[in-house]
Structure 1
Amino acid sequence: MKSFYFFISVNVLTLMSCVSHKSIVSQEDIDALDSLVKNQRFQIHSDWLYPQASIALQQVLNSGILQGGNNANSISLIGNPNFIRISGDSISSYLPYYGERRMQVDYGGRDSTIEFEGLVKNYKVEKNKDHSYTISFEAKSKMEGFKVFIELTPTLKSDVTISGNSRSSINYIGNVKPLDE
């Protein structure tokens, strides 16, 4: 009988420890994000990028060319310049790119970043039940078109997914802040 109670208590503790923990956000955080998205004046700075892993990319990146702590699945951007700026209907970006290119490579390999500047097309904003926002739009660089999907949370965390016409999709995780005047 003691083993039965022990078994039950271990199972209850296991189930309780597996319950997901939701972060509590204040109404002030929710209002700040609402204002940020409504004004369309914000900047995203990413700390990590997650390339779409393929066997070829994994072999190259795991060959030792990356600094410690990085691998083919996740690369730290801390200390590296990167941004996405949205100001009204204008956008600019400078994001490092690790992944496979299919075509349209600039001569000399100078097109190793995702850079676009200009007007956004098909800008859509959707507020989710958890008070986060999903923003999607299209943007163009000199040689390529991109579809961009951004998720912003009330804790001012960002999750950006970009897919290009001639590149594998890539994901950036970071923070969002208001755009300085």
Structure 2
Amino acid sequence: MKQLLLTALLTINMAIGFGQINIDSLHTSFLTTKTDTVTLRKYLQRLEKLSSENINEIEITANWIIENAVLKKNDNMLAAALVILGDTYLNAQKLKEAAEVYLRVITLTENSSNYIDLSKAYIGMYNFNKQSGDYDKAMAFITKCLTVSEKNNYKPGIAKSKYGTAALLDDQSYPEKKRHFQFNFQINE
């Protein structure tokens, strides 16, 4: 019953969002486990466009993508949906859920070529730890993001890492910032 309700809600939502997709074919694609990668990509694009205020809609869509990505063994699609879900949880102040999702992405992508979602997960963990007040862990995650981004010449990750480091060092509530600043930039008094 739960799966049927989920299918109905997602079908209606996506039919409205895509506009010109035939509702019958959309419904059929939801009911089969043979959803192709192109369909998953369409739903992922729709998921990216949803506002973070629509947390229920995002959860429903993301969980459907996650379920189908697992069935298709498509780790890249899985990681992308998880990152969006983690960002949504973080924006909604569901910090525990956000951390769990980001750590799952890190575990999934650490040894793969998916450096984009790995960088995004590191940034998510940086934001989680910064909001939680664990500045040392935040610094560790933003440094990992910078390392991965520079290694792969991923410019958005490099920019966000440098901005995150500067923001963390500028934060007045970070007591260890002077020690990190001296260590990372080898500045002597």
User: TM-score under structure 2 normalisation?
Assistant: 0.22
| Greater RCO (Cα-Cα under 8 Å, separation 6 or more) | 1
Structure with the higher fraction of residues in helix conformation? 2
Structure with the higher fraction of residues in strand conformation? 1
Larger Rg: 1
User: TM-score under structure 1 normalisation?
Assistant: 0.22
